[in-house]
Chain A
């Protein structure tokens, strides 16, 4: 093979590589453009929320709307606490979410340990029953539990807001799936060393399951924070309302007048902010959790 021929091949190779990398670069650029445009359309409504919340009442109803308010005022963020007991809603939501989360993670972890690691008669049938209820529409369960609350005279109490939400098949299912992935060798060694079943649970399973527990904690907290229909059913007084119900109640204040959108948006932003912050810092756990329960199909 002569030299010029070799040169030709290498040149051709180089060309095709350059061409390919050029095409690759264009594709990459297009990818970024699409992703960024999409991100803008995701964020735009949130910016609209922020912008509205910083406007004077008369500046809201103008055309064309201004993105940067003139002047920027923070009054809505002060007024919102006074017009409705927003602080109360906040505290209620936090208290209820903490109780529900604590209860659910604990009871789910105990049950998941039994389902994944202990042998007892009826285990698989019982677990199947747990799984089966996950398919049942929420409203089927809602009706009798609501009647139960009326019967117990728990309407408008924290008990009604917390207790029924504390036990879920979902939490048990999720943790059981995770516990199943922990190698058994570790516990066998511990058993031989005379560790009790509770000791295995507390010293081996729980420390190894921190990511899954964190995921369930966050899922439960969010679900409680965003829960709507149940607190709407069981609360009556303003003092027992949670944040979402409080927002809906806030909206009802304007039933017969032009809503003060700057106030409503300030309230909405305050309701959204804690979960967004929590999500941004812990989003890895969310992604893992979604994969854990969803990937098998």
Chain B
């Protein structure tokens, strides 16, 4: 290829690229850097045309976010709310292993020669595609302490076994609010993307492996442990990384609809805290700081995952 046509191709390539690249620069890549610079200012939202007011504070925001101070011989967090919400986020993420395990079991069941597989897959996928707000409103109603589906069923069951059973005040009880969201999360996620990825991975395992194992007299469990599990380990690895990445930055919509982050902040996650800082309190600089902190945490965890998790993956 001669030089002229090379230049032509470059030009055409950039023409093809330009609409997307322009949008990508304005709405994605430049904002990432701007966001970082925001985190060094104590900016507040101001009336137009000023938009932002605030001064440079260096690492002040990060100190406020992560720092501790000694007061009367006790170490106190500069921002105790942040630590509480971080705890909430991590607590809610404890449902992830259950979600992954559930999806795997579902995929294993669906991977057999059965009729109506498309129908089953569709039903299990319904919560994933449904409008989030609608689902959360529905579950808010399901969790209604007196007339909701769940407590009605618990009470009914109590009648049958002749016990006076009473379900908890799910969402309005500080201890139960997070588990409530986690139970719902299991229901929503179990038949979603992960189950489909697992199912695809299972279907990719050559049948010969199992035939050979059968000849050697392997039982079902041995087949799973020595063939299936290693063969799907890349999928497990991928699913886990994605779930952790999303887990850190989730929990806003459900809490906003179902609990408004309560009771007493029990369901407020970091994402919700960022939203409040930006939208309710107009602390633009602080919101950007939390977002960047989140980014750094996710980055480090992903890096560690690649570094160490990669060893667990076979082939």
Contact = CB atoms under 8 A, between A and B. Distances in A.
A63 B35 contact: no
A181 B124 CA distance: 30
Contacts of A183: none
A197 interface: yes
A63 B292 contact: no
Given A197-B12, A283-B125, A297-B235, A63 B155 contact: yes
A264 B106 CA distance: 32
Contacts of B271: 139
A142 interface: yes
A204 to B, nearest CB: 14
A280 B122 contact: yes
Interface string A40-58: 0111111011001000000
Contacts of B22: 167
B134 to A, nearest CB: 4
A198 B142 CA distance: 54
Contacts of B138: 45-46, 48-49, 265, 268
Given A268-B131, A279-B122, A139 B23 contact: no
Contacts of A107: 19-20, 23
Interface in A228-255: 228-229, 232-233, 243-244, 247-248, 251
Contact of A42 (B124, B132, B152, B284): B124
B123 interface: yes
A121 interface: yes
B28 A272 contact: no
B20 A141 contact: no
Contact of B34 (A118, A144, A198): A144
A42 B32 contact: no
Nearest to A137: B249
Contacts of B122: 279-280, 283
A111 B133 contact: no
Contacts of A16: none
A163 interface: yes
B112 interface: yes
B51 A113 contact: no
A147 B51 contact: yes
B149 to A, nearest CB: 5
A51 B257 CA distance: 21
Interface in A111-130: 111, 113-115, 118-121, 123, 126, 129-130
A137 B36 CA distance: 13
A62 B147 contact: yes
A295 B248 CA distance: 22
Given A41-B187, A139-B271, A269 B134 contact: yes
A244 B35 contact: no
A162 B134 CA distance: 22
B68 interface: no
A254 to B, nearest CB: 11
B85 to A, nearest CB: 13
Contacts of B130: 272, 275-276
Contacts of A34: 109
A165 B121 CA distance: 29
A65 B127 CA distance: 23
Interface string B5-20: 0100110111011011
Contacts of A41: 187
Contacts of B29: 129, 133
Contacts of B205: none
Interface stretch (A5-13, A68-76, A286-294): A286-294
Contact of B14 (A31, A63, A120, A148): A120
Given A63-B152, A271-B134, A279-B129, A118 B124 contact: no
Interface string B268-287: 00010011001100001001
Contact of A35 (B31, B120, B156): B120
B241 to A, nearest CB: 8
B238 A118 contact: no
Nearest to B131: A271
Given A118-B13, A140-B294, A222-B129, A63 B146 contact: yes
Interface string B28-48: 111110110010000001001
Contacts of B121: 283, 287
Interface of B: 6, 9-10, 12-14, 16-17, 19-24, 26-32, 34-35, 38, 45, 48-49, 51-52, 106, 109-110, 112, 114, 118, 120-127, 129-135, 137-139, 141-142, 144, 146-147, 149, 152, 155-156, 187, 191, 193, 196-197, 200-201, 234-235, 237-238, 242, 245, 248-249, 252-253, 256-257, 271, 274-275, 278-279, 284, 287-288, 290-292, 294-295, 298-299, 302
Given A61-B146, A139-B290, 18 more contacts: A34-B109, A39-B120, A64-B155, A106-B19, A111-B21, A119-B9, A120-B13, A135-B245, A168-B28, A197-B9, A233-B278, A244-B134, A247-B134, A251-B137, A264-B137, A268-B137, A275-B130, A283-B118
13 contacts: A45-B149, A63-B155, A106-B19, A107-B23, A115-B17, A136-B295, A139-B249, A140-B294, A144-B30, A148-B26, A201-B16, A244-B132, A268-B135
Q: Which 8 A-B pairs have the closest CB atoms?
A: A167-B23, A297-B238, A268-B134, A111-B20, A118-B13, A120-B13, A144-B31, A107-B20
